[in-house]
Homo-oligomer: A and B are copies of this chain.
Amino acid sequence: MTSESRQPPARRGAVRSEAARQAILQATAEQFATRGYEHMSIEGIASAAGVGKQTIYRWWPTKGALVTECLLEGRLLPDQLTLPDTGDVRADLRTWIDRILTLLDDPTGQGLWTSLIAAASDNVEIGRKLHDSLGVASSVTQRLAAGVEAGQLAAGTPLTETSEALIGAVIVRALGRIPARPGDADRLLAVVLGPEQSAG
Q: Is the CB of A121 within 8 A of B117?
A: yes
Identify A175's interface contact among B38, B130, B188, CB under 8 A.
B130
Give the docked Cα–Cα distance between A87 and B177 (Å): 33
Q: Is the CB of B173 within 8 A of A131?
A: yes
Q: Is the CB of B128 within 8 A of A176?
A: yes
Q: Is the CB of A161 within 8 A of B131?
A: no
Query: Assuming A117-B117, A177-B127, is B190 touching A191 (CB within 8 A)?
Result: no
Determine the interface band of chain A, counting residues with CB < 8 A from chain B: 35 or more
Give the docked Cα–Cα distance between A172 and B162 (Å): 12
Query: Assuming A161-B187, A165-B192, A187-B161, is B118 touching A175 (CB within 8 A)?
Result: no
Q: Is the CB of B132 within 8 A of A176?
A: yes
Identify A168's interface contact among B122, B130, B158, B168, CB under 8 A.
B168
Q: Is the CB of A131 within 8 A of B165?
A: no
Give the docked Cα–Cα distance between A187 and B191 (Å): 14
Q: Which residue among A113, A115, A166, A191 has the maximum number of chain B CB atoms within 10 Å of its CB?
A: A191
- Chain B residue numbers with a CB within 8 Å of A165 are 165-166, 168-169, 188, 191-192
A81 at the binding interface (Cβ < 8 Å): no
Give the docked Cα–Cα distance between A30 and B37 (Å): 24
A77 at the binding interface (Cβ < 8 Å): no
A50 at the binding interface (Cβ < 8 Å): no
Other A-B pairs, 17, CB within 8 Å; known A36-B122, A121-B175, A127-B175:
A37-B121, A114-B120, A114-B121, A117-B118, A117-B120, A130-B172, A131-B176, A160-B187, A161-B169, A161-B190, A165-B165, A165-B168, A167-B168, A168-B171, A168-B172, A191-B192, A192-B192
Measured CB to CB, the residues of A under 8 A from B are: 36-38, 113-115, 117-118, 120-122, 124, 127-128, 130-132, 136, 157-158, 160-162, 164-178, 184, 187-188, 190-192, 194
